[in-house]
Amino acid sequence: MIKSINPANGEEIKLYNEHSSAEIEKIISASHHDFLSWQKTDFKYRSEKMKKAAEVLRSKKERLAEIMTLEMGKPINQSKSEVDKCAWVCDYFADNAEKFLQDEIIQTDASKSFAAFKPLGVVLAVMPWNFPFWQVFRFAAPNLMAGNAGVLKHSSNVTGCALAIEEIFHEAGFPENIFRTLIVSSKGVKQVIENKNISAVTLTGSVPAGKSVAAMAGAVLKKTVLELGGSDPYLILEDADLETASEICVNSRLINGGQSCIAAKRFIVVEKVYDKFEKLFLDKMKSKKMGDPFDVKNDLGPQARNDLRDELHQQVLTSLKKGAKLLLGGEVPNMKGAYYPPTVLSNVINGMPAYDDELFGPVAALIKAKDEQDGIRIANDTTFGLGAAVFTSNKERGERIAKDELNAGCCFVNDLVKSDPRLPFGGVKESGYGRELSLFGIKEFVNIKTVYVK
């Protein structure tokens, strides 16, 4: 049995029966069967269905947002925004997939030669709980538009979200099995990957989970795209607008309860403006309210599970034992639910969890740098490479640093790192490989086929 727990109060929401091995085989076989006809449909037909999915999302936004907030605790307004973003990605690929996947003529000695982009088959998506709708739709929209089918293994604590997503595609008029949810634990992933009708795998999750899935898929020669963790550095230079920068930095650290791979985690401030930035940052962190995620007055709900909250707290305690200074928060509140307060650490250095590891919650690490070059060095001193940002009043300076100096897949200037259907999304180093979204993302799971006509 899989149990869904409300992280705001610890109460059970619902129990779900896991799919048996036989049921898993049956679902994947049905998805492959529907794929065989789906791949032959034209883009106009697929686009109509995907546009309808966007309509369903918007029409049911309130109910879908409630499911998200109930199962993983994000503030209700953020859940509503997530539904809107899912509708956007559906519309985007409905409008652009045909253009992205049109044949690409290549001049050779043939009378005609070109690259064609053809679907692979059934793609398995192993998805996390932190953005339970968005993570899935940013995979599903481009892949279904490319002519693939999808099966979803979602995180167990958001099974209600997983089933709701399957229902959205059914209601939109997609073939019954072109997108299916598998209710399985992590132990069941190996069987799914090894199924002959699974063509590729995409995973968003932790580094250990990514390594495990990549190894399983590699053993049976199936392509993977991995979006893993991050310890995103935000570099604040001496000429930055500190008021604006501190506001953006706080929002980036606390969005989704700090439970985001691309949330700001390490704030690297040049010493010339460090003291002023620290005060502004602390004042803004102190102003944020934690409580019932269904109350729109609150900025911060609970963490998604008690064990995750406890792991985060241990990272804070270990950092403090190693010399970090606690400026705010850092204590588990005496209240029901998996809550953890906005927390700020300073004097953070290499060797502390707050510097080396991903802190998946509302904990900010302030780090002082001597100057720009020292700040860049600290920013890149990580095993991760998902997102990074730099704040400066000189846009040319910021662009140079973002393009040439910061070692990450998504580098922003004077704004928080965020995913956008129009831009490629993904990381380097232990943050994974491959890209999602945009022209680049839709081409990850297609057969780039050479056609040569003499």
Known catalytic residues are 227, 261
Taking the CA atoms of residue 61, residue 62, residue 63 and residue 64 in that order, the dihedral angle to the nearest 10 degrees is 40
CB 159 within 8 Å of CB 4:
yes
179 three-state secondary structure: strand
CB 235 within 8 Å of CB 268:
yes
- Between CA 62 and CA 391 the distance in angstroms is 36
CB 116 within 8 Å of CB 451:
yes
DSSP calls for 232-290: EEEEE-TTS-HHHHHHHHHHHHHGGGG--TTSEEEEEEETTTHHHHHHHHHHHHHT--B
CB 344 within 8 Å of CB 320:
no
CA 31 to chain centre: 25
Give the single-character DSSP code of 412. E
- Between CA 260 and CA 355 the distance in angstroms is 16
DSSP calls for 53-98: HHHHHHHTHHHHHHHHHHHH---HHHHHHHHHHHHHHHHHHHHHHH
Q: Pick from 279, 288, 261: which is nearest to 417 by CA?
A: 261
Name the phi and psi angles at 2, rounded to 5.
Answer: -110, 130
Q: Give the chain's radius of gyration (CA, Å).
A: 22
Number of Cβ within a 10 Å radius of residue 350: 10
